[in-house]
Structure formats: C-alpha cells, structure tokens
C-alpha cells in the first residue's frame, strides 16, 4: 500500500497513482480528494479514462480513512475546542498536510511542472475535491500564506487549478449493490472522527474560505478555482455553488486579491457524477483545465 509522509510525526496518507499515461511526460496530473464516508474508491470508475484523455490520476485517502493515519484524541478534541484559535490551528494543520502530500508526490513521482505553450497551460497539477473534501482544499488554499516560503514557491511551479466538485432522480447509492457500497465507504469514520469535524465553528471555517478565494494575500496568483455543480444534486451543494459564484462576481474589496473563479453546470447528473457518468466527468475536466 503506497503511503506518503505528510509531517514529522509519522502521519501518512494512503494514495493510488495511475502513472504517466502512455509513458509520456506531457500530461496533466489530477489529484482527487474524496468526501464524507466515501473514500477514494469512489473514484475508481474514473481511472480507466486516464490514458484516453492523457491524464494522470492520483486518488488519496484523508486522515482516518483506510490506509491513512487516524486522529489522536487530542487532535479530535481540537476541532470542537471552545477556543477558536485552537480550532483554526487544527484546520491549518490539515491544510499543511495536504501541501506536504502534493510536494511529496511531485518529488517522488517526477510530476512535470506547468508549461505554457501557445498561451495555454499544460502539465502541472489540478487538485479536485468532491463534496466535504472541499473543507480540506479550502483550508489548504486559505492557509497558503502561512506555509514555508520554500514550500509555497515550490508548489507555485506545479499547482494550476483547484476544482470544487459539487460543493436527482433516483439517488445513486440506492442503485449500488451492497458489495459496491461497502467497497467504497468507511461507515465507522462518522463515529470515529467526522462528527468532531462538523463541530468546527463557522467563525473559523468561513475566514478560511475567504482567504482561499477572495483575500489570497497574493499567494499563488495564477492558481484559479473551477466549480462544477451537478443539476440533480442536493440543494445545499447547488446553493454552495451559487454562493461561490457570487463571491467571484463581487467587486474586490480595496487591497484584497481574489482568484479567478469559474462556475460550470454539469447537466443531468447528481452528486455521484464520477460514479454514474465517469467519462462525462473526465471530459468536463479535460475541456476546462
């Protein structure tokens, strides 16, 4: 089981890598971050399209999911601490661990840096977060100004885009077989750790989003954000896409630097587009990245 060290305390992320497509070097690396309960196995139907679309897919399991390091009681309690500075520090650690994972990935697997050819960016990394996985990527972007200068400068050469995937007819999980559902979920994570994450205060989470999107302090100015929303999804995901769209269209506050934010509708699909219509999802990525 391949794992990546993400701090100096022995914490690791489990990941899987499709490798360079066709043995070439001119490809985009897409790092896929899963949501709540459903681990990286939820992306397995996407992976066979890597070669066809000249993409390198890397799926990663977050903390407390199979193969990755769990939480200590102290870490879990920090998410619900009445002192917001403690909560903020706990979330910032998550962002730093994701940054460490990306740096490890580049250094260990010869990921190619961004190039610009005829005005179009090629190679590099697109970071895609599905559903609650966006909590992690917003914490990552929102705390980028606090990373070491070395790490910030290093990742600037590789990170192109952050994709927010769906921040129905018959729900997808009702159409999954029992074996399929069990193979891509970790139901125990709700009791072990996720309920603690839900207790983090909006007063801590919201500033992270603002720093990630509209008050970037000039960190990674060329990293844009792409939001995909699925028009048969849950209402809160559709509302979140509208909220982010409004943030992107609003005039910048004086002295604030925002990212380019594009919002794209995926027609006729629900929250599990990567499971029900994997090629539709991969095609959308290829066309917009």
Q: What CATH number is associated with residue 162?
A: 3.40.50.1820
The pLDDT tens digits for 13-43 are: 999 999 999 878 889 999 999 998 999 999 9
**What's the whole-model pTM score?**
0.91
Q: Which residues, at least 6 apart from 179, have a Cβ–Cβ distance to it below 8 Å?
A: none
The pLDDT tens digits for 58-84 are: 999 999 999 999 999 999 999 889 999
Domain that holds residue 229: 3-288
Q: What angle is formed at CA 61 by the lines to CA 55 and CA 63, rounded to 5 degrees?
A: 150
| Tokens of residue 47, six digits | 């992976």
What is the pLDDT at residue 168? 46
The pLDDT tens digits for 194-217 are: 877 777 888 988 999 999 999 999
How many independent structural domains does the chain possess? 1
Contact, 261 vs 227, CB < 8 A? yes
């Amino acid at each position: 089981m391949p794992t990546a060290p993400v701090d100096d305390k022995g914490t690791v992320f489990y990941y899987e890598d499709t490798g360079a497509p066709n043995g070439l070097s001119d490809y985009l690396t897409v790092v896929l971050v899963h949501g709540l309960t459903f681990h990286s196995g939820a992306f397995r139907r996407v992976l066979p399209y890597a070669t066809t679309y000249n993409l390198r897919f890397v799926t990663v399991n977050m903390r407390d999911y199979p193969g990755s390091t769990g939480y200590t009681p102290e870490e879990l309690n920090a998410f619900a601490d009445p002192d917001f500075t403690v909560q903020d520090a706990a979330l910032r650690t998550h962002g730093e661990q994701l940054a460490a994972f990306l740096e490890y990935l580049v250094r260990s697997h010869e990921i190619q840096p961004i190039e610009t050819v005829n005005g179009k960016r090629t190679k590099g990394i697109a970071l895609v977060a599905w559903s609650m996985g966006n909590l992690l990527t917003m914490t990552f972007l929102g705390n980028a100004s606090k990373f070491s200068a070395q790490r910030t400068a290093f990742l600037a050469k590789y990170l192109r885009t952050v994709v927010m995937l769906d921040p129905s007819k018959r729900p997808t999980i009702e159409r999954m077989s029992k074996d399929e559902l069990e193979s891509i979920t970790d139901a125990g994570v709700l009791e072990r750790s996720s309920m603690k994450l839900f207790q983090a205060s909006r007063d801590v989470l919201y500033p992270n989003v603002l720093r990630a999107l509209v008050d970037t302090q000039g960190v990674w100015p060329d990293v844009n954000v792409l939001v995909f929303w699925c028009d048969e999804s849950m209402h809160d995901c559709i509302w979140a896409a509208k909220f982010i769209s409004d943030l992107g269209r609003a005039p910048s506050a004086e002295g604030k630097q925002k990212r380019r934010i594009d919002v794209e509708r995926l027609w006729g699909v629900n929250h599990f587009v990567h499971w029900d219509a994997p090629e539709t999802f991969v095609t959308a990525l290829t066309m917009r990245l």
